[in-house]
Amino acid sequence: MQTILEPRTMQAWADATRARGERIALVPTMGALHEGHVALIAEARRRAKRVVVSIFVNPIQFDRRDDFERYPRTLEDDAARCAAAGVDVIFAPSPRAMYPEGFQTAVEVAALTAPLCGKTRPGHFRGVTTVVTKLFHAVRPHLAVFGEKDWQQLAVVRRMAADLDFGIEIVGVPTVREADGLALSSRNRRLTPDDREAARCLPRALDAGAEMVATGETRPAMIVGRAKMEIAACPRARLEYAEVRDPETLEEVDEVTAPVLLGVAVWVGEVRLIDNRLLAPAEAERESARLAQGGAARAPDGPPKTREAERESARAGRRGPGASEARSAAEPREHWTGPRDR
């Protein structure tokens, strides 16, 4: 494993690797790696010959200076994790290397960045899409792997990659959780013991919303209200948002008739945590079970067929009859908007 610090050196490595006909997978991170990142690396290794992990705490995606300064930086430990996971290259540029003097360009996605985290973190996604664009140009990957815990980020990156014709496959990996359900996050390191206990209200809120949908509730307001009750029951937690959204467009939904996204953002002490859950109504769950009975073999380069079939069925249901064919003609299947596995 080698560590590369400069974009041009990274580009030279990528060009030589591509010339040998080897596929490159990129796992973009801000360091402080945990088992969730290891899962991303494992998926990258499954899909490509060479794996690059970028470690860069991106200053332009933080809306608060103190949050940027407190973000954990553990490069030595991260390097050990990467080596154990079989990473080929760590790309760890400095802020000056990424944003040299006079830098004044930004990349921005419009509608998908407006709701959820975009409402309360102005400029955050502009910083994300700008740095991901620069990482793509430096590493020149065939595919890039992101976690579904940051569902909105994944949707935004998919949209950007499609709109700007990057020709890079964007792969989503399900959230990795601790034994009590809390989603793994680098920010968890900043939680005090009491705050860590309080943070369990996030998975409880998601579980409560999922239970309501599974038992027939279709009104978003009722589902959100139940999730909010779980957050409100924890005095150390402060709700930022809890919303039900279409998992692809992130638009509001009037009724839960197909799988929807329940997204939450909560402050626990001085730490902001986000999480989400796909909620499938009872009818969709029955359809999934029916498909599963017909076999759930994993394709050579993709997720279980039943999961993809369920998501395609949900997409067709939301768009209406004939929309699937129309959209297929309008844009490539692999770049449809919205986080979904390939």
Q: Output DSSP code: residue 148.
A: G
Active site residues: 37
Which pair of tokens denotes residue 213?
Answer: 């949908």
Strand order in the sheet with 143-147: 2-4, 89-91, 50-55, 24-29, 143-147, 169-173
Phi, psi (degrees; rounded to nearest 5) at 24: -115, 130
Closest CA to 125 of 99, 155, 169: 155
29 pairs with which residues across the strands? 55
Closest CA to 235 of 266, 280, 276, 264: 266
Give, in order, the Cα–Cα distances in Å from 68 to each of 74, 199, 265.
14, 21, 18
Reduced to 3 states (helix: H, G, I; strand: E, B; else coil), residue 25 is strand
Calpha distance 276→286 (Å, rounded): 22
Phi, psi (degrees; rounded to nearest 5) at 20: -85, 0
Calpha distance 27→211 (Å, rounded): 33
Alpha-carbon Rg for the chain in angstroms: 20
Asked whether 18 and 140 are in contact (CB, 8 A), the reply is yes
Burial of 6 (0-12, 13-18, 19+ CB in 10 A): middle
Calpha distance 212→279 (Å, rounded): 9
Pairing of strands 143-147, 89-91: unpaired
Which pair of tokens denotes residue 19?
Answer: 């010339």
Asked whether 220 and 252 are in contact (CB, 8 A), the reply is yes
